[in-house]
């Protein structure tokens, strides 16, 4: 397994991160026994980075990890969790207020059976709480020793920049990472989020890098996902928020199969390696329902995709940045042509 620093920090994480959204999910996930086996297999493969959230399986994911974690060498692992979503009946048990963040962090610490969280992330944006209040509270948790580093997830670029400015002006700790949906089928963050992260020294943690299993290469020509698959059971992956099943998807999957066959890899490894070729990406989050799935995905952390294969996939999946980015790109090209 290879490792990378997470943003402008000294924290090293494995390039493959174990995502635990499947842990404790009765319909499309895995039970506690299987989850524990997956955790053990991940560590055996050299992984040290585990991501969860208080929202996952209604807090059960954190509980499963906690039972396992108390039997491990805690200092050798990097545990990441998140807060934002409602976890109780009280009106204040949600969002990014001082009250909820502190309560949510204490609850996660109890469930995880640990004294500290390595990376504490705010899961989504709060439309009411001032960002100044959120950043001050996260800094407070670091000063208390309950949290080592902080990151954000699913935030627009302007929020990243605003958070960075608040931290610098007030002497707070800054985000070192951003966790975002990023894969060969969904490259939207390249327009604004990715440049913003680069500018403030944050690194990306990519969630759904295999697009809910779409990029594993297991789906053949079809008009819709096969029944009883994760991509079919989760309508957000097939129909709603970030659909992976669209007209061009299978053409991209076929290209992955072609490259995988040529290079002696799996389509999953090729898709993950394409992301890891990007220096802005620190780690890719891969979930699993079976032990052999995480072992296979961990191998992608060792393989470097050749430039010509990366470029072929880049060209096939390229998106339009639109205005004003396309105008700026041409201006920059002319600018440096005049100098060089």
For the annotated catalytic residues, the residue numbers are 56
Place of tokens 């032990």: 291
2: helix, strand or coil: coil
What Å distances lie between residue 199 and 51, 83, 157, 230, 258, CA to CA? 25, 25, 11, 36, 36
Buried b or exposed e, range 247-270, using 16+ CB within 10 angstroms: eebeebbebbeebbeeeebbbbbb
Q: How far apart are CA 69 and CA 87, in angstroms?
A: 22
Q: Please, are residues 49 and 11 in contact by the beta-carbon 8 Å criterion? A: no
Neighbour tally for 240: CB within 10 Å: 9
- Greatest alpha-carbon pair distance for the chain in Å reads 63
Neighbour tally for 329: CB within 10 Å: 11
Place of tokens 């991940």: 42
The β-bridge partners of 16 are: 284
């Amino acid at each position: 397994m290879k490792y990378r620093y997470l943003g402008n920090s000294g924290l090293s994480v494995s390039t493959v991160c174990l995502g635990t959204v499947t842990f404790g999910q009765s319909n499309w996930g895995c039970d506690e026994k299987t989850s524990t086996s997956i955790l053990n297999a991940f560590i055996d493969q050299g992984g040290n980075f585990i991501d969860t959230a208080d929202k996952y399986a209604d807090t059960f994911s954190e509980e499963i990890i906690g039972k396992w974690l108390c039997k491990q060498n805690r200092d050798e692992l990097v545990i990441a969790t998140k807060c934002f979503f409602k976890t109780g009946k009280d009106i204040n048990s949600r969002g990014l207020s001082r009250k909820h963040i502190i309560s949510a962090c204490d609850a996660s610490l109890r469930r995880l059976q640990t004294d500290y969280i390595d990376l504490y992330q705010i899961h989504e944006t709060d439309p009411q709480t001032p960002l100044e209040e959120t950043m001050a509270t996260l800094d407070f948790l670091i000063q208390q020793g309950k949290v080592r580093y902080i990151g954000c997830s699913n935030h627009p670029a302007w929020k990243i920049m605003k958070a960075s400015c608040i931290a610098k002006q007030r002497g707070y700790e800054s985000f070192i990472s951003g966790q975002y949906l990023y894969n060969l089928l969904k490259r939207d963050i390249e327009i604004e989020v990715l440049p913003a992260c680069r500018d403030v020294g944050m690194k990306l943690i990519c969630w759904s890098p295999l697009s809910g299993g779409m990029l594993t290469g297991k789906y053949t020509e079809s008009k819709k996902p096969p029944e009883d698959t994760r991509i079919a059971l989760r309508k957000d992956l097939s129909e709603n928020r970030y659909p992976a099943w669209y007209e061009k998807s299978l053409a991209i999957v076929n290209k992955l199969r072609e490259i995988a066959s040529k290079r002696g890899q799996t389509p999953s490894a090729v898709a993950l390696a394409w992301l890891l070729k990007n220096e802005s990406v620190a780690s890719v989050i891969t979930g699993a329902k079976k032990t052999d799935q995480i072992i296979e995905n961990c191998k992608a952390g060792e393989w470097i995709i050749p430039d010509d294969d990366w470029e072929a996939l880049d060209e096939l999946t390229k998106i339009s940045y639109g205005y004003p980015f396309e105008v700026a790109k041409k201006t920059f090209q002319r600018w440096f042509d005049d100098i060089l």
